[in-house]
Amino acid sequence: MSRLSTSDHLGLSEKLRLLNWGMIALIVIIGLIGIALLYSAGGKSWHPWAGPQLARFAVGLCIMMVIALTDVRVWLQFAYPMYGAMLFLLVVVEVMGHVGMGAQRWINLGFFVIQPSELMKITLALGLAKYFHGLSIEDIGHPIKLVAPIAMVIAPVGLVLLQPNLGTALLLTLASGAIFFTGGVRWWKFIIVIGIAAAILPVAWHHLHDYQKARLLTFMHPDEDPLGHGYNILQSKIALGSGGLFGRGFGQGTQSQLQFLPEKHTDFIFVVLAEEFGMVGALFLLGLYFLLIAYGFMIALTCRNQFGRLAAFGLTTTLFLYVFVNVAMVTGTIPVVGIPLPLVSYGGTAMFTLLIACGILLSISVHRDMRISRTGLNE
């Protein structure tokens, strides 16, 4: 084995010094904003959402910090086993999963309900990053070498579609595409895949569930069924408009406080913010997300090993897609697909997933100067 890089000898104090404290501060601020919004949405009460969310956030931050101080080679070593475990849990969901809101997406452990499709976003990114880390530039040019990573994507996406969960399936696919592209797959291969996907859209339409077809039709014509399928997005737009420039004030949103706004604690929490703090408040939160995402991509660009670079790109792209899809759907820019707002929407698995992802990003940042060969050893 050749000489180890200096990052192999980092002690705890040195790792703490190298932590990206600016990124950690952003995560804390965004999480606290979410807790405040849940407090308001609950009628200025810690029950039923703000209190549990605060407890989860505190535990999640502790987990994030432990992960951040863990050697990045641990995630390289266990990438495949973690991917396999989540794939197994997705199969378990199909067999004996807990049904909620018309979908079978959760495993009820009694003391905690886990949603494997959320955690798959992390393990799939790590698994693909490990695979491409082990390839040479020449290997990536051979189509046969892409069979395995494509299968790694198709397997969880197919299981997630069976739940059914179209939104998460799209996020898994798009984030994986970012890793493929960053890993060196040529652009013309993406054009072929997009062309094939476009060709099968008519067939896919006939296999959608009725509620999924209704969402797409409502997106195109929301006013045709204002008290039915179009109710959610119309109420969302009313709340967005009523907020104006500076908002109605904390806890004073009429749409949310008078129970007109649906799913105000989960999918539509951004609308609560926009109604109470106006466009200024909404842009402030989006600015925080922009900085957090910028930190993630900067970590990817400055990482000196391929695994960390690809994992950081995949995880940061996932974070970006969370924000983009949620904000776009509540503003009527895209159909409603049920994607939470990162670190703000109420929910256990989604919050832990994002904090774990941020912990891995921080770990990659701390060990960004570590050079790792394709075999997993230090160069």
Q: Which residues is 5 bridged to in the sheet?
A: none
Could you tell me which residue, 54 or 199, shows the higher pLDDT?
54
Residue 102, pLDDT above cutoff 80: no
Q: Does a structural domain hold residue 287?
A: yes
The residue ranges of DSSP E strands in the chain, in sequence order, are 98-100, 103-108, 113-114
Burial of 194 (0-12, 13-18, 19+ CB in 10 A): exposed
Could you tell me which residue, 369 or 35, shows the higher pLDDT?
35
Q: Which two tokens stand for residue 48?
A: 């039923």
pLDDT value of residue 5: 42
Q: Which two tokens stand for residue 143?
A: 């189509």
How many CA atoms, within 13 angstroms, populate the side-chain half-sphere of residue 70?
18
Look at the chain and report how many structural domains it folds into. Answer: 1
Confidence band of 335 (pLDDT split at 50, 70, 90): confident
Mean pLDDT of 164-190: 90
Q: Which of 105-119, 148-162, 191-205 has the highest mean pLDDT?
A: 148-162
Mean pLDDT of 149-153: 96
Q: Does a structural domain hold residue 371?
A: no
pLDDT in tens, 199-228: 887 887 777 777 777 777 777 776 666 766
pLDDT in tens, 59-96: 999 999 999 999 999 999 999 999 999 999 999 988 87
How is the beta sheet containing 113-114 ordered, strand by strand? 98-100, 103-108, 113-114
Q: Does a structural domain hold residue 311?
A: yes
DSSP 25-69: HHHHHHHHHHHHHHHHHTTS-IIIIIHHHHHHHHHHHHHHHHHHT
pLDDT value of residue 49: 94
Following CA atoms 358, 287, 275, 171 in sequence, which dihedral angle do they give, to the nearest 10 degrees? -50
Report yes or no: 304 and 371 within 8 Å, Cβ to Cβ.
yes
Exposure string of 200-233, with b = 16+ CB inside 10 Å and e = fewer, is eeeeeeeeeeeebebbeebbeebeeeeeebbebb
Report yes or no: 90 and 117 within 8 Å, Cβ to Cβ.
yes
Q: Does a structural domain hold residue 373?
A: no
Q: Does a structural domain hold residue 379?
A: no
Mean pLDDT of 108-119: 82
Q: Which residues is 378 bridged to in the sheet?
A: 372
pLDDT value of residue 79: 97
Q: Which residues is 372 bridged to in the sheet?
A: 378
Residues of the chain above pLDDT 70, percent: 91
**Mean pLDDT for the chain overall:** 88
pLDDT value of residue 6: 43
Task: Give the closest residue to 273 by CA, choosing from 258, 286, 260, 291.
Answer: 286
Mean pLDDT of 240-245: 90
Report yes or no: 71 and 367 within 8 Å, Cβ to Cβ.
yes
Q: Does a structural domain hold residue 374?
A: no
Report yes or no: 166 and 209 within 8 Å, Cβ to Cβ.
no
pTM, two decimal places = 0.90
pLDDT value of residue 4: 37
Q: Does a structural domain hold residue 255?
A: yes
Q: Does a structural domain hold residue 308?
A: yes
pLDDT value of residue 253: 86
Query: Domain span at residue 252?
Result: 6-366
pLDDT value of residue 101: 55
Task: Give the closest residue to 35 by CA, choosing from 10, 60, 18.
Answer: 60
Lowest mean pLDDT among 14-18, 123-127, 233-237, 359-363: 233-237
| Structural Rg of the chain based on CA atoms | 21
**Cα separation of 96 and 105, whole Å?**
10
pLDDT value of residue 1: 32
